[in-house]
Structure 1
Amino acid sequence: MATFNIVHTTKYQYNWPIKESINEIRLFPHDFENQEVIQFELLITNNPHVDISKDYYGNRVGNFNSLEPHKELTIEARSIVRVNHSRKIPEIDTIKVQDLANDIENSIYLQRLTTPETIDNQKEINLILKKLKLAEKPITAIAQECNKYIYKNYTYTKGITNIETTIDEILEIKKGVCQDFTNLLLQLLRTVGIPSRYVSGYICPNESGFRGEGATHAWVEIYSPTQGWLGLDPTNNIWTMDSHVKLSVGKNFHDCTPVKGTFKGLARQTLSVCVSIGYEDGRHFEEVNDVQLPEISIEQQVQLDYIEQLQIKQRLHQQQQ
C-alpha cells in the first residue's frame, strides 16, 4: 500500500490575448477497488464552472470555458491517492483467446477494444507474434511475452517521438517512450484477439529505478473473464504495482488525453506540464516538460509574422516620437 500527493499542473501561454477557450479535461484519478481517492481539488485560472460527467469508458470528464481575453491558462489538479494492488502479479490463468469469444460477441465495448489499428506494416506485427510462438498459451502468458518482447527489443529514448508518432514509425526506429510502447503492445494483443485498453496515469518513483517514473505515464490493461482488467507496463516489463496511479482508460491516447481544447484568436502558444509527487515520508519529486505542440499552418504563420512586424514598427515609431 502506498499514498501519494500528486499535483498535475498544465500551463498554456500565448503571446497575444486569446478568447473563448473551450476545454475538456481527464485529470480525475479513478476510484476503484485497488485505488482510493482520498482528496481531490481542481484549480483553474479565473475559476470557471466545470461540468463533470462520465464518458463511454467510465472516465470522469470535466468541461469548462474561459470566454474573456487572456494570455495564460493554468489548470492544476491536486490529488491524494492511496494505491493497494493486492495482486501485483495475476493469478495463474488458464483462459485462452478462444475462451473469450462469447464475452466479446456479447459486448460492443470489448469488440472495440479487440480491433487493432489499421497500419501500413501489419506484416511486421504478424511476424513478431509468429516469432513468439504464442499459440495455445493462456492470455496472461501471451500478454507477458509481448510485454517482455517490447522491453527487450525497443529502447527507451525521450525526445524523438510525440503524441502523433505512429505505430509504423515505432516499428521502424525501435525507440520511444511509454506511450509508444503502449500503442505497440495494444496492436500486438488486439491482433491476437485479446481485449486491451490504453491507460493514462502516473508512475510514482519509490527508489525503484523505473523508466518513465515521476511523470505522466501510460500502460495497457487486458481483459480476463475471471480476473477483470489486469495492467501491464511494457516500458518496465512488469504488471502494474502500487506505484501506478490510474487516471483514465480508452481505446487509445486520444480517449485519455489529460487536457485538450481550442480557442479563438491568432497567437503563438506554449505548453508546459509539471507533475509533482509527494510521499508519506516527506520525500518529493517534480518533473517539468515543455510539450511540443503541432505546427501551425503556413497561412497562420504568415498572419502572425505580419502582426509581429506591425507591432515592431509601432514600437519603433513610439520610440522616435
Structure 2
Amino acid sequence: MRLNISHVTQYDYEGPVTDSVNEIRLTPSTNDRQSCYQQAIWIEPNASLFSYEDYFGNRVHSFSVNSPHRRLTIRTQMTVVTKNALSPEKQAALLNGKPAREAWSWLETEEAANRFAEFLLPTGYADITDGVQSFADSICDKEGLDMSVLGWLTQLSSSIRQQFTYDPEATTVKTKASDMIDAKRGVCQDFAHLMIACCRAHQIPARYVSGYHFVGDLQGGTADFEQASHAWVEAYVPTLGWCSFDPTNEAPVGERYVKLGHGRDYKDIVPVKGVYRGNGGQTLQVTVDVRKFDE
C-alpha cells in the first residue's frame, strides 16, 4: 500500500518566547515491512535542522528558534510504501514445530536478559505492580497448556482489547499501566503500556511503537484525520524475532500501519518535544492526514 502522510504540529503562545530548542521523531523507519521514499520537513519560523539516530535507532531532527515568536509550526510530508506482515500460518511454519517450553526457557536465560535488558525492566509508564502482575498471570497457564510465546502474546493482546474500553476522555498522556488496571479504560497509548508491562512481567522483551494507522477508506472516505496517530507493541518471540501486536484493534499489524520508531515506553518516542524561554501558557494543535494513493 502506498500512503501519503501529512503531519502538522502548531504551538501558539500567549506571549513572545525565545530560545526554543526542539527535537522531533517524525521520520518513518525503513524495515522489512515498509520503506519511506520521500519526506520533507518545514519549520516556521525558519530554522536549520540537524539529524541523528538515537540509542534505539530512531531518526531524530533537532532545531532551535532563538528570535522572539508567538507561534511555532512543524510540518512534515512523507510517502511510505507498506506491505503486510507474516500471516499466523507463515509464523507457525517458521517456528517449525519447536516445543513451546524451549522458547520460554530461553527467555529466562542470562543471554536473553543481557541482550534485551532495556526492554525487560519496568519503566515509568510500563510499571509492574501487583495488579499488573495479577492481570498478566490471569491470561492463561502457559506451562499447563504448553502454549507458545506467540500464542500467549496473541491471547494477551486479545484480552486487553476485550476487557478494557477505548475511551479518549478516561486517561491523560501521563497515565501508567497500573492506572489502567483500575480505570479499565483508556486509549492506544495506555493499552500498549499495559501490554508491555505484562510482557515484561513474564520475561518477554517488549517495546512501545509510535506511528500511524490508516483506516480512512474503511470509514467511507480516502483520508484519515482523527485516528491516524497510533501506538502499538513489538514483542520478541524466539526464532521469529520482533513481532507486532495491536491491543487496541483486532486486525493484525500489516500494510495499514506505518512505524515511526520504538522505545522502552512513550517517553522515548515522543513525536515532538522541546523547551523555550518565556512566560505564559501555550495551546497545541495537531493535525494528521493519511491518504492512500490510487493503485
What TM-score do the two structures reach when normalised by structure 2? 0.88
Distance in structure 2 (CA, Å) of the matches to 1:132 and 1:21: 46
Q: CA deviation at 1:21?
A: 0.3
- Residue 99 of structure 1 is aligned with which of 100, 106, 131? 106
- Residue 133 of structure 2 is aligned with which of 126, 144, 160? 126
DSSP 3-state at the match of 2:91:
coil
Structure 1 residue ranges (4+ consecutive) displaced by more than 6 angstroms after TM superposition: 118-121
- Residue 248 of structure 1 is aligned with which of 261, 278, 281? 261
Q: Which has the higher contact order (CA 8 A, sep 6+)?
A: 2
Residue 113 (1) aligns with residue 113 (2): no
Q: CA deviation at 1:62?
A: 0.9
- Which stretch shows the higher mean deviation, 141-150 or 212-221? 212-221
Residue 13 (1) aligns with residue 12 (2): yes
Q: Structure 1 residues 88 and 49 mapped into 2: Cα distance closer, same or farther (>3 Å)?
A: farther
Q: CA deviation at 1:38?
A: 1.2
Task: Answer yes or no: is the 8 Å Cα contact 1:206–1:243 preserved in 2.
Answer: no
Deviations along 1:8-66, one digit per CA (max 9) or x if unpaired, are 10000011110000001100000112101111000111321111100110000111100
Aligned residue in 2 for 1:300: none
Aligned residue in 2 for 1:195: 205
Q: Structure 1 residues 126 and 22 mapped into 2: Cα distance closer, same or farther (>3 Å)?
A: same
Q: CA deviation at 1:126?
A: 2.5
Distance in structure 1 (CA, Å) of the matches to 2:287 and 2:231: 16
Amino acid across the alignment from 2:141: L
Deviations along 1:131-165, one digit per CA (max 9) or x if unpaired, are 22232321111111110110010000112212111
Q: Structure 1 residues 120 and 87 mapped into 2: Cα distance closer, same or farther (>3 Å)?
A: closer
Q: CA deviation at 1:275?
A: 0.2
Task: Answer yes or no: is the 8 Å Cα contact 1:134–1:142 preserved in 2.
Answer: no
Aligned residue in 2 for 1:223: 236
Aligned residue in 2 for 1:165: 175
- Residue 235 of structure 1 is aligned with which of 243, 248, 257? 248
Aligned residue in 1 for 2:286: 273
Aligned residue in 1 for 2:23: 24
Aligned residue in 2 for 1:177: 187
Distance in structure 1 (CA, Å) of the matches to 2:194 and 2:237: 20
Deviations along 1:94-133, one digit per CA (max 9) or x if unpaired, are 45222232542442xx111011347887222222233222
**Structure 2: gaps (5+ residues):** 220-224
Task: Answer yes or no: is the 8 Å Cα contact 1:88–1:240 preserved in 2.
Answer: no
Aligned residue in 1 for 2:52: 53
DSSP 3-state at the match of 1:32:
coil
Distance in structure 2 (CA, Å) of the matches to 1:188 and 1:275: 30
Deviations along 1:156-190, one digit per CA (max 9) or x if unpaired, are 01122121112222111101100000000001111
Task: Answer yes or no: is the 8 Å Cα contact 1:113–1:190 preserved in 2.
Answer: yes
DSSP 3-state at the match of 1:239:
coil
| Aligned residues between the structures | 278
**Structure 1: gaps (5+ residues):** 283-321
Distance in structure 2 (CA, Å) of the matches to 1:15 and 1:120: 36
Distance in structure 2 (CA, Å) of the matches to 1:230 and 1:257: 22
Q: Structure 1 residues 134 and 120 mapped into 2: Cα distance closer, same or farther (>3 Å)?
A: same
Q: Structure 1 residues 140 and 213 mapped into 2: Cα distance closer, same or farther (>3 Å)?
A: farther
Aligned residue in 2 for 1:41: 40
Q: Structure 1 residues 213 and 11 mapped into 2: Cα distance closer, same or farther (>3 Å)?
A: closer
Task: Answer yes or no: is the 8 Å Cα contact 1:202–1:213 preserved in 2.
Answer: no
Task: Answer yes or no: is the 8 Å Cα contact 1:12–1:73 preserved in 2.
Answer: yes
- Residue 264 of structure 1 is aligned with which of 277, 281, 288? 277
Aligned residue in 1 for 2:71: 72
Q: CA RMSD in A?
A: 2.1
Q: CA deviation at 1:226?
A: 1.9
Task: Answer yes or no: is the 8 Å Cα contact 1:5–1:81 preserved in 2.
Answer: yes
Q: CA deviation at 1:208?
A: 4.0
Task: Answer yes or no: is the 8 Å Cα contact 1:88–1:241 preserved in 2.
Answer: no
Amino acid across the alignment from 2:121: T
Distance in structure 2 (CA, Å) of the matches to 1:213 and 1:103: 42
Identity over the aligned pairs, expressed in percent?
32
Distance in structure 2 (CA, Å) of the matches to 1:121 and 1:188: 7
What TM-score do the two structures reach when normalised by structure 1? 0.81
1:277-288 equivalences under 5 Å are: 277-281=290-294
Distance in structure 1 (CA, Å) of the matches to 2:120 and 2:5: 32
